[in-house]
Structure formats: structure tokens, C-alpha cells
Amino acid sequence: MENTISIQDITVDELQLLSGPNNSFIKMLEDYFETELVLINSAFFVKDKQYKDQIERVLGVMLSEIRSHQVLKSGDIIYICNLVKQNKENLYSKLRKKIIAKSKAGKNIFPKTIGQSEFVDQMLLKDIIFSIGPAGTGKTFLSVAYAADLLKNKEINKIILTRPAVEAGENLGFLPGDLKEKVDPYLIPLYDALNEMLAVEQVEKYIENGIIEVAPLAYMRGRTLNDAFIILDEAQNATETQIKMFLTRLGFNSKMVINGDVTQIDLKNQRDSGLASAFALLQKIDDIAFVTLTSRDVVRHPLVQKIIDAYEK
């Protein structure tokens, strides 16, 4: 049948791994391609013929990974689907080999999309990296993971995590508590990424000893930051003056990553955001990298990608 995908010499165990726990991978493919996929013996029947080729290629990459003794997870299925849509599924195994760090559980951290791969490459090469992209594209996680790995290997002495203390039109004055209690709610994504890489007790110890510093952007003024990896998150909420101030803190043997999403500016006047102007002003400086991530680089639930696309349209 022309709508049927037949896989030669597949074992029962491979078929189970290909289908996923409780056929969850089949359901993900159905949701992603918006069609029906029925497993009949060792063949897959695709309701909508126009998706047969893409689904067959996705299954081919999945089977290749299974036969290479790789453990597939839900996120992997989405990454493979995204690559197939771009006719670049041959890059998937190469991305897996581009390991930039290991989590505290020993899990390899590597870019999962073409855009993320470029981001990682630029972090390895350049001292200042701007990354603009929507939520879920891994900007914060990859930059914190790489910073933590450099710290583990003693290539830097300090990690500094910062972001503007602006959120949905509010400011620090509205929040109760001391400075740390005021700032912490804004920095939860950074803490989450740190805790993935390091034990919670180790993170707390590093913070107490000043090896990891978490502070609002305003506290960077007047400093020179040497032997450090500095991450500015939510940079779309920084003004042009703040971005300039931040960039000029760069010291010797240091790297800076500036992450932002220009579609989520919380400043009262969106034109006050300094992120877009930085792209325009600094593009010609060779040692500064600019990476743009899109919905294709989203590594969250597949619905997030669809939501981002809907808003962009």
C-alpha cells in the first residue's frame, strides 16, 4: 500500500523502542504531523499520504539511534522531526557528538537543533555572544551548562548570573524582603539550570563563597570582571545604557553571553530596549557573535513551537 511504511528486518524489541512507552512516540508523530499513524505487524500505515516520506525518514533516524544503543526520549523525537522538516536529519547524530558539558547525573549536554549548534560553536569561539530567540530555545540552559563545565575544569574562577530587575511592569520595590529575596524570583530559570549541572549543596556553597554570583544588572556597574563567565539573561529588558555598561565590564580571560527575546519586552516603552540597538551597533565587530534562534530551535513541548508560530503570524 502506498500509505504504508515497511521496515525490513526489524526485531520485536526494536519495534517496541520505536513505538515508545505505551506507544507514546507514535502519538507524538501523530500530533507533530497532524495525521494518524497505525502500527500493523511491523509496518506503519499513514492516513495522510503527504506525510509518509517525512515520517519514514523520522522513523529511519530513530531506528538508527536505537541500533547505536542510544536511549530515545520524547524531546529527541521532536528534534528529529524538526530536522526532517528542514531536510537535515543527517545532522542529528553529529549534534549528539558535540558535547559541551555533563550534568550532575552524568548526562551529556549537547545542542539539539541547528540553531543551538551555532550558539554552542560561537560560545566556544568568541568572548561576547548575543543570542536572541523565543522561550524554550535553550539559551539560558546551554550558556549555564557551558559556564558550569568551565568552572568544574578550573578554566574560569567565577560564574556571574544577572538580569534586569524588570518584569511585567513591576520593579524590586514592590517585592518584600532583602535584596536576595527580592531578586531570587527573577532568577529561577538560572538556578534551575545550575541545579541541573551541580548538586544543590554545591551551588549554595559556591554562592556563599562568591564563586557563583547572582545579582541584578544594576550591580554590575563600576566593576571589571576577570576570569569569569558572565550571563545576562532577559536582556530585552535592559536599556541601551545598561547593555553598554554591562559589555564594558568584560575583563581578561572572561566570556559574556547576552540572552534575550525581543517579543517579550516588559519595559514600559518597548523602544527603550537596548538589545536590538546592540545588534545594529556591534555587528561589524569580528570578536562579537550574534546568533538568532527561531521556533525551529524550541526544545520544549511541541505545542510551544506551534504557539510561537501562531503569534509570529
pLDDT tens-digit map of 185-195: 667 777 888 88
pLDDT at 205: 93
pLDDT per residue as tens digits for the range 219-246:
888 888 999 999 999 899 888 999 999 9
> Mean pLDDT of all residues in the chain?
86
pLDDT for the residue 169: 43
Inform me whether the pLDDT recorded for 253 exceeds 50.
yes
Q: Of 183 and 142, which is predicted with more confidence?
A: 142
Q: Which fold has domain 101-312?
A: Rossmann fold (3.40.50)
Model confidence at 289, pLDDT cuts 50, 70, 90, reads very high
Q: Which of 168, 203, 189, 310 is nearest to 259 (CA)?
A: 189
Span 76-96, pLDDT tens digits: 898 899 899 889 998 888 898
Question: Residue 54: how many CB atoms within 10 A of its CB?
Answer: 19
Cα–Cα distance, 28 to 19 (Å, whole number): 10
User: Do the domains 101-312 and 4-96 match in fold?
Assistant: no
Q: Residue 166 — pLDDT band, cuts 50, 70, 90?
A: low
Inform me whether the pLDDT recorded for 168 exceeds 50: no
C-alpha cell at 91: 545532522
Residue 121 has pLDDT above 60, yes or no: yes
Give the relative orientation of helices 74-85 and 302-312 as an angle to the nearest 10 degrees.
40
pLDDT computed for residue 180 by the predictor: 56
Q: Tell me, what's the pLDDT at 170?
A: 42
Contact between residue 34 and residue 71 where contact means Cβ atoms under 8 Å apart: no
Residue-range domain boundaries for the chain: 4-96, 101-312
How many of the other CB atoms lie within 10 Å of CB of 148? 27
Average pLDDT of the segment spanning 50-66: 93
- CATH 3.30.1370 given to domain 4-96: yes
Contacts of 292 (CB under 8 A, 6+ apart): 115, 132, 133
Residue with cell 550591580: 219
